[in-house]
Chains A and B, each alone.
Chain A
Amino acid sequence: MAEREVVSNAKGMVLPERSPAPVRVSRQKVQAHGLRQQQAWLQQVVTCPPDRLEEAMANTGDFIKEGYGLDPESRLWIYRGMFPLRMVESLQIDFPGVAYTLGPEAFEALVMSYVEEHPSSSWTLNHLGLHFPAYIARSSLRGRTFLHQLAVLELNLAQVFDEPEVPALNPEALQSLAPEGWDELVLQPRPTSRLLKFDYPVSHYLHQVDNELEPRRPVRHPQRILIMRQGYQMNRVVLPEAGFHLLRDLFSGKKLAPAVERVVRKFPAVGAPELQRWFHQWGDWGIFRA
């Protein structure tokens, strides 16, 4: 995944094309406005949807000085033009799969309608996409179930990227756990380990997007994923159904022995060699807290 990076000032741009309908601007005598009013006005001009722009800019002459070189409306357009660029770029970094699937125009339209409903209220753009998967699920987009699940995967990847680093239970320690302690033993996941279950093979699809393989939307096929961060690198693996069930029980705080018994009951084909292999792998991957 791409690493988000805020930069210290404006993104490169030229004046964007204006809305088709010309904005009528009042040239009446300047009225005094307090600081709060000035800020509320400019924020509205910068962020409002196109259908409310004419109203927002109607009293531009009250707020903006007749300037040197550019008229006040063009000056406002510089700020207004940067706003969608920032929003789209931010969510494109966190949701590259959704962006690829929709294409640039549909993705921008989705982002701007989303931002209208869920404007950023945080000092960081890292939180902007928090409601994006749910918003997609409620949308009328074609294939929204797939898009929603893809967005859930991407949101989790973005979140795990920033989770705190905590020591992992090393493989030797995991292997040496005495069976007599299993009844009471709880294995906690590290914050950088997450389990996700999907109806579509979204992890495989995202891998293809990341590698510019131009995938088509996949057909339904269940996929169970473990996301983990190892050495500050993001990784994910597809898990077998039984292994996923066992890990889900363990991640939810169930004790080791009852969790193992439960998975063996539910999946009779799972035997001791398989369990041993899984725990060996999980130890190598460092998914449990020390």
Chain B
Amino acid sequence: MIVNKWGFPDLGFGMGLRTVHYSHILEHWPQVDFFEIIVENYMGSGGRPIYMLEQIAERYPVLLHGVSLSVGSTDPIDFEYLKLLKNLIGLVKARWVSDHLCWTGILGRNTHDLLPMPLTQESLEHVSRRLKVIQDYLEVPLVLENPSTYLEWAQDQLTEWDYLNALTQETDCGLLLDVNNVYVSSYNHGFSAQEYIQKISGEHVVYHHLSGHTNNGTYIVDTHDDHVIDEVWALYTQCYQRLGARTTMVEWDAEIPPFEVVHAEVLKAATCRKPVVSKVG
């Protein structure tokens, strides 16, 4: 078992806070260890989103997860975005904030997609520099998620796990190890998902994401619209056996089923942590 270096506690098992589940949550206050929000849905809004968040944050821990930090972009850092993010960090008293190893646009443009970083020394140094500035500004650790990717750059010099390990060493950022994304990228690029999990820097892993995806035969798209598949559960079990208990969250973002269905998936994650007891006699 490897303890994460900040000593962040295992918060248990949570799920993404989605608008279709608001009324269920406010009516039943279900037993969920925490909710994770997509920060862009709440930043800059003074209306219903922030009102709902305040109510839910009174009863549950809320984790912050972003999609627009664009940490790898070669455009200047967007401090207007960071200011709003810092306000949100204060509002829910977040101990860390997560986003993706990616870029979303350059030349003043935003594609609103999580575009893949070239895995080169130049890119590594660029992201390291920006991460330090961002973490200094936010005053909480940034936890970077391994993205699902659909292409590899011709100039890539590093594996994704070596890149992330070097980044964490250089910047002391955390890792959000998305187990489904490991599986998706390994399928799309032909590397070993088990090797990825074995070699990722365990002390930097703060938490895990789990989700479903769409397998189109020759490639997989990370659609978050279905149950977690068995292969991903097996990888998650491997993570637990290597790293120990880490905060774990299930994402379901499209074709979102009733609350109970997503919650059942969250509870299923807990069963992966049970120790295997062999029958005797």
Q: Is B44 an interface residue when CB atoms closer than 8 A count as contact?
A: yes
Nearest chain A CB to B103 CB, angstrom units? 6
Q: Is B19 an interface residue when CB atoms closer than 8 A count as contact?
A: yes
Contact A62 B154 (CB under 8 A): yes
Q: Is B126 an interface residue when CB atoms closer than 8 A count as contact?
A: yes
Contact A5 B41 (CB under 8 A): yes
Chain A binder among B6-14, B220-228, B231-239, B261-269 = B220-228
Q: Is B241 an interface residue when CB atoms closer than 8 A count as contact?
A: no
Per the bound structure, the CA–CA distance linking A11 and B122 in Å amounts to 30
Cross-chain contact of B219 among A5, A69, A163 (Cβ < 8 A): A69
Q: Is A112 an interface residue when CB atoms closer than 8 A count as contact?
A: no
Q: A43-B107, A162-B45 are in contact. Are A38 and B155 (CB under 8 A)?
A: yes
Q: Is A226 an interface residue when CB atoms closer than 8 A count as contact?
A: no
Which B residue sits closest to A11, measured CB to CB?
A: B254
Contact B46 A39 (CB under 8 A): no
Q: A62-B154, A79-B115, A126-B44 are in contact. Are A120 and B221 (CB under 8 A)?
A: no
Contact A232 B47 (CB under 8 A): yes
Within 8 A of B (CB), among A106-157: 119-126
Nearest chain B CB to A46 CB, angstrom units? 6
Which A residue sits closest to B110, measured CB to CB?
A: A120
Residues of A within 8 A of B218 (CB): 69-70, 74
Q: A123-B40, A124-B68 are in contact. Are A65 and B154 (CB under 8 A)?
A: yes
Q: Is B159 an interface residue when CB atoms closer than 8 A count as contact?
A: no
Q: Is B274 an interface residue when CB atoms closer than 8 A count as contact?
A: no
Residues of A within 8 A of B254 (CB): 7, 11-12
In which size bucket is the chain B interface?
A: 35 or more
Q: Mark A206-242, 1 if CB is under 8 A from B, else 0.
A: 0000000000000000000000010010000000000
Which A residue sits closest to B189, measured CB to CB?
A: A68
Residues of B within 8 A of A176 (CB): none
Residues of B within 8 A of A78 (CB): 150-151, 219, 221
Per the bound structure, the CA–CA distance linking A82 and B104 in Å amounts to 13
Cross-chain contact of B47 among A5, A61, A67, A163 (Cβ < 8 A): A163
Q: Is B18 an interface residue when CB atoms closer than 8 A count as contact?
A: yes
Within 8 A of B (CB), among A1-48: 3-15, 30, 32-36, 38-40, 42-43, 46-47
Contact B68 A15 (CB under 8 A): no
Q: Is B253 an interface residue when CB atoms closer than 8 A count as contact?
A: yes
Q: A3-B19, A232-B51 are in contact. Are A83 and B113 (CB under 8 A)?
A: yes
Contact B155 A12 (CB under 8 A): no
Q: Is B251 an interface residue when CB atoms closer than 8 A count as contact?
A: yes
Q: A69-B190, A126-B44 are in contact. Are A43 and B51 (CB under 8 A)?
A: no
Q: Mark B103-133, 1 if CB is under 8 A from A, else 0.
A: 1011111111111001010110010000000
Other contacts beyond A12-B225, A39-B73, A79-B151: 7, CB < 8 A = A6-B41, A8-B38, A9-B224, A43-B106, A78-B150, A123-B81, A163-B46
- Show 12 residue pairs from A and B whose CB-CB distance is below 8 angstroms, ordered by the A residue: A6-B38, A9-B253, A38-B118, A46-B113, A46-B115, A67-B190, A69-B190, A69-B218, A75-B150, A78-B151, A90-B112, A124-B68
- Seen from chain B, the residues whose Cβ lies within 8 Å of a Cβ on chain A are 16, 18-19, 38, 40-41, 43-49, 51, 65, 67-68, 70, 73-74, 78, 80-81, 103, 105-115, 118, 120, 122-123, 126, 147-148, 150-156, 188-190, 211, 214, 216, 218-219, 221-225, 251, 253-255
- Seen from chain A, the residues whose Cβ lies within 8 Å of a Cβ on chain B are 3-15, 30, 32-36, 38-40, 42-43, 46-47, 61-65, 67-70, 72, 74-76, 78-79, 82-83, 86, 90, 119-126, 160-165, 191-192, 229, 232
